[in-house]
Amino acid sequence: MRDAARFPEQRFDMRGVLALILAGGVGSRLNVLVKRRAKPAVPFGSVYRIIDFTLSNAMNSGIERVGILTQYLPYSLTRHLGRGESWGLVGRAREARILPPHTGSREADWYRGTADAIHRNRDYIQRHAPEITLVLSGDHIYRMDYAAMIEHHIRARAGATIAVMRVPLSQAHLFGTILADGEDRITGFEEKPAQPTSDLVSLGVYAFQTDLLLRALDEVCGLQGGSDFGRDLFPFLLERERLSAYRFHGYWQDVGTIKAYFDTTMELLDPDSALDLPRWNVRTNLGEDRLGDHPPAYVASAARVRRSILARGCRIHGTVEGSALSPGVIVETGAVVRDSILLHDARVRAGAVVEGTVADKQVEIGPLARVGDPALGDEISRAFPTHLDQGMTVIGKGARLPARCRVGRNVSIDPGADLGRLEVDTVAAGESVRWEGETEERS
């Protein structure tokens, strides 16, 4: 049922809407955080995953039928979603359906673009026969009332509507940009232009009249091997249909880089930030890995915690400052965690110091180790110069750092890497540690 206290009532019956979430992206700029999971499955904000925001928006907007398109490393995402119980998507007329690619033995059987992915699931759309199909990205942090967007779409008498937001013109080249007139009618597109002429960027949220969407997909996807919405479908529609821009003024953030992921998480520590997850009514699957069974966080009498998030199950005996800790994190006596993100069940042994670091699940940092050590220099990553150039260090799931190990800034350590077995005791700034040992997709 729609929560009128969160979003105002709209006239359109949302039972006539089908939402499709694109959740198969690699998100390679998140580096080792996506080596064993798709970007929408990356943990965020202590107990959530990135896809929880899109799913919660759908729930709060009154949408009852959601298809989730997966592809890259889908296991953890599929396990997290379950049957959709956590978002109220179970019932006679409700569903959350995982839609994997129809793969065979050839590379061509995989999705080849965002529009191609929707086209390959046209039977699913036709089976539900929605009046309006909503296409959503599953890898952004935001709060949006999709019903308000659909009301705009209907008032504009548009064949398709794109949610847009203003950004500084200096940043517009990172996005697909939209040109629109005074009545919000779209007049042009620029896909990540080197010199943008518009500061309106697409947020990856689209509303379509379903019959129009299916016809356009048949024509565009039938003409070429792969197709995207921004590059192919919308320019095709622009010459034939009325396209409208829905101007969004709320909070929206792309956490597609380590720095953006870190900075957005740190906003949770600011009581004045617009990123207010309890007020947004963001839901997650607390039954996964028994997250809801953790006891309250424990802070020892001699410990020190300042401006930080401690999830249930954390045990703090040392110092934590300006950091976000997920369930089950342990910081032992004399250890210091500063300006860092530690995901589920990470452990910082006695006397270790961790600064400016994102550590994935089950990472273990040995006694007296030093991670993010400024004394080892400030060189940017040689292997990932566009990923790690802001001083952050990222450690993959299950990696182990031995006692007294020193790790510099802009360092990447693969999931599962055991630096003790590798006989590595120092990792200089800008270096990477590769690991070809055991792999496991569960994450």
| Amino acid 5: pLDDT | 39
pLDDT at 3 over 50: no
pLDDT at 8 over 70: no
Q: What angle do CA 319, 323, 326 make, to 5 degrees?
A: 100
Architecture label for domain 14-267 = Alpha-Beta Complex (3.90)
Over range 223-244, report the average pLDDT.
87
CA gap 317, 349 in Å, rounded: 10
**One-letter amino acid of 215:** R
Over range 89-97, report the average pLDDT.
91
CA gap 237, 265 in Å, rounded: 37
CA gap 88, 96 in Å, rounded: 9
Q: Residue 386 corresponds to which tokens in the numbers above?
A: 């566009």
Domain residue ranges of the chain, discontinuous segments joined by + = 14-267, 294-433
DSSP state of 366: -
| Amino acid 292: pLDDT | 79
Task: Specify the CATH superfamily of domain 294-433.
Answer: Hexapeptide repeat proteins (2.160.10.10)
In tens, the pLDDT along 273-291 reads: 999 998 999 999 988 878 7
In tens, the pLDDT along 291-334 reads: 778 899 999 999 999 999 999 999 999 999 999 999 999 999 99
pLDDT at 90 over 80: yes
Could you tell me the sign of the dihedral formed by the alpha carbons of 64, 65, 71, 75, in that order?
Answer: positive
DSSP 159-176: SEEEEEEE--GGGGGGSE
Say how many Å lie between the first and final Cα of the chain, rounded. Answer: 32
